Structure 1
């Protein structure tokens, strides 16, 4: 059984901070679960273009408000507490947190992340061995 609290991750190598987001990696590939789980904060006013060419991601908003735009269709969906979105087709998208508020998200990745990934120039994470 794996039991963790967010406090166990804060300030460690599993607490990854960038200009637009902070991701606290709770479950890694090495846990052997077949997926990884992050507690991620999209910083207020951030606008992030991403496409996970090597991963599928499901995201559940637990705090804040913003929006996601599907760049293939141009459709923008509002995000608020209780919204879930799944990037089931390696969807290129823009994620925005409203100015003045951050968005806190629970993110599940398959295949699992190793824990130290940051987005490359295409907005993706590299596939680990």
Structure 2
């Protein structure tokens, strides 16, 4: 059994907290936990605008706090994001995520991330075998 405390991670395990342009992510589960997915709590700053394209990962995201919108860049369809809304990037969807207020999101990645990834210029993470 794995039991982790979000507050303990943020206070004592800085290697599990990732910061990037206008967002941060607390990595609760990573690849080395051998769960088959990774689990993160991610914070996106109010007013931030992000384009991501996880070509090598599937991701599901659940909004716990804040408002924003996500746009599927292949179709142009925009969906509102608010507490209780989940989206799943089941087709490696290239998307734009805009935070109207600070967004607090619970995220799962498959395959799991290692915690050392950085977004590449195209908005993706490298495939696990490239890391």
> One fold, TM greater than 0.5?
yes
Whether 1:76 aligns to 2:72 is no
Paired residues in the alignment total: 127
Please list every run of at least 4 consecutive aligned residues from structure 1 whose deviation after the TM superposition is greater than 2 angstroms. Answer: none
Q: Secondary structure at the match of 1:10?
A: helix
Which is richer in helix?
2
**Structure 2 stretches lacking a partner, 5+ long:** none
Q: Secondary structure at the match of 2:7?
A: helix
Shift of 1:8: 2.0
Q: Secondary structure at the match of 2:15?
A: coil
Whether 1:85 aligns to 2:84 is no
Whether 1:38 aligns to 2:40 is yes
Q: How far apart, in 2, do the equivalents of 1:58 and 1:120 lie? A: 20
Partner of 1:120: 120
Q: How far apart, in 1, do the equivalents of 2:71 and 2:97 lie? A: 7
Q: How far apart, in 2, do the equivalents of 1:62 and 1:106 lie? A: 7
**Structure 1 stretches lacking a partner, 5+ long:** none
Q: How far apart, in 2, do the equivalents of 1:36 and 1:70 lie? A: 23
Whether 1:59 aligns to 2:61 is yes
Partner of 2:103: 103
Partner of 2:10: 10
